[in-house]
Amino acid sequence: MAAAKKKVTEILNSVYKDGRRELMELESKQVLAAWGVPVNRTELARDLSEAVKVAREVRYPIVLKIASPDIIHKSEAKGVKVGLSSELELRQSFGELINNARTYKPDAKILGVTIQEYLPPAREVIVGALQDPSFGPTVMFGLGGVWVEVLEDISFRLAPLSAEDAREMIQEIKGYPVLAGIRGTPPADVGALIDIIQKIGQIAHEFSEITEMDLNPIFAFDNGKGAVVADARIILVESG
Amino acid sequence: MASEVKAIFEPKSVVLVGASEGIGEGIASPAFFYSLVHNMRRFFKGKIHVVDLGGKLKGGVKNLNQVPKRRDLAVVVLPSKLVMKNWRYLLNLMIKAIVLVAGGFNRQQQEELARWVAKRKIRVLGPNATAGVINTSKGLCATPERDFMPPRGGVAVISQGGAVGMAILDWASFYGVSVSKFASTGDGIDVTEADLLEFLTYDKETKVICIYLESVRDGRRFLGSIREAMKRKPVIVMKGGTARDKQDRIFAASLKQVGAIRVDNVEELLGVADALAKQPPMQGDRVVVVTNAGGAATLVADALSRKGFALAKLSDKVAKKITGKYQDINIVEWVDLGIDAKDDRYKFVLEQVLSDQGVDGVVVMNELKLSFLKPVDVQAIAEVAEKKSKGKPVVSVTVAGRAGALLREAVKGKNIPVYDSPEKAVRALDALRFYWKTRARVEKGV
């Protein structure tokens, strides 16, 4: 725990030092990984040759995302390619991604791209955290996509929370049957989600400088196969 | 800290401060001051000192320095300006706690009060604690509402708003819900809901704590004090201003997390509080309906089903015992005693169904129309319910409004809650079940 705390503090400090409040995806995932939250393998590649090398290690298919501290909404910047299955596709996409980013935000500082492990399709959920002015660190849970955006089908609990609290907040949403398994589909790995929710609660409780966390999406695999964070965003309070 | 909060509810000596002159309308007007003095003289069992800055009130003194020092509590019915003017003299009296009834303190004045509170060993309730403080067991009736003293019982009420607090007490007496303590917290510059909760948690008179909030102050501490209280007694929360409050979902979730029971309106608050004060928590979902009107039981069954309860199936042994004694009793989905059922039938059947292992709680229906039942017969039900011998709750209900009032009157002061609609009775059982479920788990978490 002490080591994890030290590691996270280091990352947050370096972001502040850089004059930023928003962590890049890579940094956010480093924070999560330090706390034992499972994330898909995500590596930075500064140029094409590095990308090719890293992609071989990560193994195809891969996900390619733009890496820039100035571009938080990567899809909006057309900075994401999912499921590239060969070096050829990687070579074609790399330049395109960089160009898209430059068009989207000409003055953006571009570090390169991240090469990420591709995750097979799964049920998608969202876990978030925020600092409530009255109640302090609070954790949010919901199903991905339309469930959260349109139906506002989300549940809350104060952090830190017990496993029982986390289980309740999962079962509380209207879309819960989707996770429990309907029409013969096996249940999702709720235990793995409970673990993630509790850990996010711990992080939010431990680091008051984190004002917002958004793990979206998290891939919830079938029971026994775990859950993995595919994208994450962490925002800090103004330093000082 | 606790001893000063104690001085608010359990003072041995009280100083009442107001002015019979020089103040116009409003809560600090002479009329309300007189009412406060009247109430205290009529009900309070301890020592009273009256300070009337106007000098007209009989038995009062004109100056604060004429009052002996180190009294427990001062209740001040003065407008903000006069409070500030006399504040030093008040502090000089070395009083443990002060209730400031009037509001209208500007920020600067509030900050000045808060500074003094921090410096001296004193607690302040208010300002704007317009409904004052009540402790039925000590005859403390420090409220400007004349002759307003609720019957003594187990329900404590904390209210941020004075008017809503009074409305809760008003409905409480209407429904025969009896009260242990009451306080309005107003602007809460010092004593907060959490302070009072901590005191009431260990108060022997209080069986249930009800809180009405308009805004949450220091949410974490407030929730922590609810969690602590829940280990000993149930806490019911009603919140106003939720329509404007986007954060209400977080509030709702956090209440759930600490096991508090949330209600939406005053009637629900009192219905639930009454059940929690008078009956044991419910350990399961299986309910027996005992009725003298079959048709009306249908409505109870519907209400039960909507809240996820099941109609209990009586064991053969118990069913036989009942029909062995009363051949015309019809046991279907519910136990139909027939329209000529009187107290003996109710008593016998209730004792039997409570002894059944497959029963977690009982709804007793008492219809007075088209039956031979009289309100007085309900005494027998109260007698069985009061024993709580099996640790199972019993609630009484009629579908009719006027009958509800008659039944309540008949069992006034007895430990059986009486409702005038199936929904209210079932909501009460729901709260008793919720309390049972959450009590165990509130001991861990946050």
Q: What are A92-115's pLDDT values in tens digits?
A: 999 999 999 999 999 999 999 999
- Angstrom CA distances, A12 to A21, A127, A206, B112, B383, stand at 9, 20, 13, 40, 66
Dist CA B380 CA B365 (whole Å): 13
SS3 call for A29:
helix
B425 is a domain residue: yes
Asked if B247 lies within 8 A of A134 by C-beta distance, the reply is yes
Chain A residue nearest residue B252, CA to CA: A156
Of the partner residues B219, B257, B441, the one whose CB lies closest to the CB of residue A134: B219
| Chain A residue closest in CA terms to B251 | A135
B227 Cβ partners below 8 Å, 6+ apart? B258, B259, B442, B445, B446
Sheet of strand A42-45, all strands in order from the earlier edge strand to the far edge: A42-45, A112-117, A62-67, A80-84
CB contact A163 to B (< 8 Å): no
Of all residues in chain A, the percent with pLDDT exceeding 90 is 89
Report if residue B11 sits inside a domain.
yes
Q: What integer pLDDT is reported at residue B107 of this predicted model?
A: 92
Instruction: Convert B268-320 into a string of H (helix), E (strand) and C (coil).
Output: HHHHHHHHHHHCCCCCCCEEEEEECCHHHHHHHHHHHHHCCCEECCCCHHHHH
List the CATH number of the domain containing B110. 3.40.50.720
A211 vs B2, more confident: A211
Give the separation between CA B113 and CA B129, rounded to whole angstroms: 15
Residues of chain B contacting A165 with CB distance shorter than 8 Å: 257, 445
Residues in B closer than 8 angstroms to A135, CB to CB, are 216, 219-220, 223, 247, 250-251, 254
Does residue A107 sit at the B interface (CB-CB below 8 Å)? no
- Assess whether pLDDT exceeds 80 at residue A198: yes
- In angstroms, what separates the C-alpha of B160 from chain A's closest C-alpha? 17
- Same domain flag for B346 and B319: yes
pLDDT for position B446: 43
**Cβ contacts of A157 on chain B, cutoff 8 Å:** 253-254, 257
Tell whether B444 lies on the interface with A, counting CB pairs under 8 A: yes
Residue B239: its H or E element: strand B235-239
Q: Is B187 helix (H, G, I), strand (E, B) or coil?
A: coil
Is B126 within a domain?
yes
The region, left, alpha or beta by phi > 0 then psi within -120 to 50, assigned to residue A214 is beta
Cβ neighbors of B200 (< 8 A, separation 6 or more) are B156, B158, B181, B206, B209, B229
Say whether residue B216 is in contact with chain A using an 8 A CB cutoff: yes
Position B287 in a domain: yes
Query: In whole numbers, what is the pLDDT of chain B averaged over residues?
Result: 92
pLDDT in tens, B38-94: 999 999 999 999 999 999 999 999 999 999 999 999 999 999 999 999 999 999 999
Nearest residue on chain B to A162, judged by CA atoms?
A: B445
pLDDT at residue A9 is higher than 80: yes
Q: Are B230 and B290 in a shared domain?
A: no
What is residue B386's three-state secondary structure? helix
pLDDT band at B445 (very low <50, low <70, confident <90, very high): very low
Q: Which residue has the tokens 């009989």?
A: B58
Closest Cα partner for B385 from B373, B371, B396, B376?
B396
Separation of alpha carbons B396 and B363, rounded Å: 6
Residue B172 has pLDDT above 50, yes or no: yes
Residues B202 and B79 in one domain: no
What pLDDT was estimated at residue B3?
62
Q: Are residues B286 and B270 in the same domain?
A: no
Mean pLDDT, to the nearest integer, of B250-264?
93
> In the predicted model, is pLDDT for residue B432 greater than 60?
yes
Tokens of A221: 């695999």
Last residue of a domain, one of B130, B163, B197: B130
Please give the residue range of the domain that contains residue B23: 1-130
Residues B357-391: b if buried by 16+ CB within 10 A, e if exposed: eebbbbbbbbbbeebebebebbbbbbbbbeeeebe
Q: What is the mean pLDDT of chain A?
A: 94
Alpha carbon distance B200, B192 (integer Å):
13
ipTM above 0.95, yes or no: no
Smallest CA–CA distance, residue A149 to chain B, in Å, is: 16
Q: Are residues B18 and B119 in the same domain?
A: yes
Distance CA B259, CA B158 (A): 18
The answer to whether A157 faces chain B, any CB pair under 8 Å, is: yes
Q: Looking at beta carbons, which residues of chain B come within 8 Å of A132?
A: 219, 247, 250
Residue A161 at interface with chain B, using a CB cutoff of 8 Å: yes
Taking each helix axis as running N to C, give the angle between helix B2-9 and helix B193-201, from 0 to 180 degrees, rounded to the nearest 10: 90
Of A134, A154, A158, the CB nearest to B446: A158
In this predicted structure, the answer to whether residue A160 has a pLDDT above a threshold of 50 is yes
Pick from B202-211, B268-277, B368-377: least confident = B368-377
Neighbours of B413 (CB within 10 A): 10
Residue B229 C-beta-side C-alpha neighbours within 13 Å: 33
| Calpha distance B9→B182 (Å, rounded) | 8
**Taking a C-beta distance cutoff of 8 angstroms, is the pair B190, B213 a contact?**
no
CB B356 within 8 A of CB B312: yes
Burial of A67 (C-beta count, 10 Å sphere; 0-12/13-18/19+): buried
Q: Are residues B294 and B427 in the same domain?
A: yes
Per-residue pLDDT of B183-216, as tens digits, reads 999 999 999 999 999 999 999 999 999 999 999 8
Q: Which residues contact B210 (CB under 8 A, 6 or more apart)?
A: B155, B156, B157, B158, B168, B235, B236, B237, B238, B269, B270, B273
Cβ contact, residue pair B445, A164, below 8 Å: yes
Residues B63 and B181 in one domain: no
pLDDT of A169 over the 60 cut: yes
B203 & B351 share domain: no
Q: What is the pLDDT of residues A16-26, one digit of tens each?
A: 999 999 999 99
Question: Cis omega (within 30 of 0) on the bond before B281?
Answer: no
Asked if the C-beta of B247 comes within 8 angstroms of chain A's C-beta atoms, the answer is yes
Give me the architecture of the A41-118 domain, per CATH.
2-Layer Sandwich (3.30)
Asked if the model's pLDDT at residue B13 lies above 90, the reply is yes
On whether any CB of chain A is under 8 Å from the CB of B220, the answer is yes
Question: H/E element holding B258?
Answer: helix B248-258
Rounded to two decimals, what is the model's pTM?
0.90
B254 touches chain A (CB under 8 A): yes
Q: What is the pLDDT of residues B300-330, one digit of tens each?
A: 999 999 999 999 999 999 999 999 999 999 9
Q: Do A132 and B250 touch (CB under 8 A)?
A: yes
Based on the domain organization, do B338 and B285 belong to the same domain? yes
Closest in B250, B444, B445 to A138, CB measured = B250
CATH of the domain at B296: 3.40.50.261
Say yes or no to pLDDT of A150 above 90: no
**In terms of domains, do B424 and B292 share one?**
yes
In chain A, residues with a C-beta closer than 8 Å to the C-beta of B262 are none
Q: Do B349 and B251 have their domain in common?
A: no
- The domains of chain A are located at 41-118, 123-236
| Highest-scoring range by mean pLDDT, A134-148, B32-46, B387-401 | B32-46
Q: Does residue A29 contact residue A232 with C-beta atoms inside 8 Å?
A: yes
Architecture of the A123-236 domain: 2-Layer Sandwich (3.30)
Domain count, chain B: 3
Same domain, B237 and B154: yes
Q: CA A125 to CA A147: how far, in whole Å?
A: 9
Tell which of B244, B259, B278 closes a domain.
B278
- Cα–Cα distance measured from residue B156 to residue B162, given in angstroms and rounded to the nearest whole number: 15
DSSP strands (E only) in chain A: 42-45, 62-67, 80-84, 112-117, 123-132, 136-143, 154-158, 210-220, 227-229, 232-236
Shortest CA distance from B217: residue in chain A: A134
**Cross-strand pairs, A39:** A229
For testing contact with chain B, the best of A131, A132, A135, A139 (most B CBs within 10 A): A135
Task: Answer whether A203 touches B (CB < 8 Å).
Answer: no
> Would you say B334 and B302 are in contact if contact means Cβ atoms under 8 Å apart?
no
Task: Determine contact: B437 vs chain A, CB below 8 A.
Answer: no
Amino acid (one-letter) located at B236: I
Question: B370 pLDDT band (50/70/90 cuts)?
Answer: confident
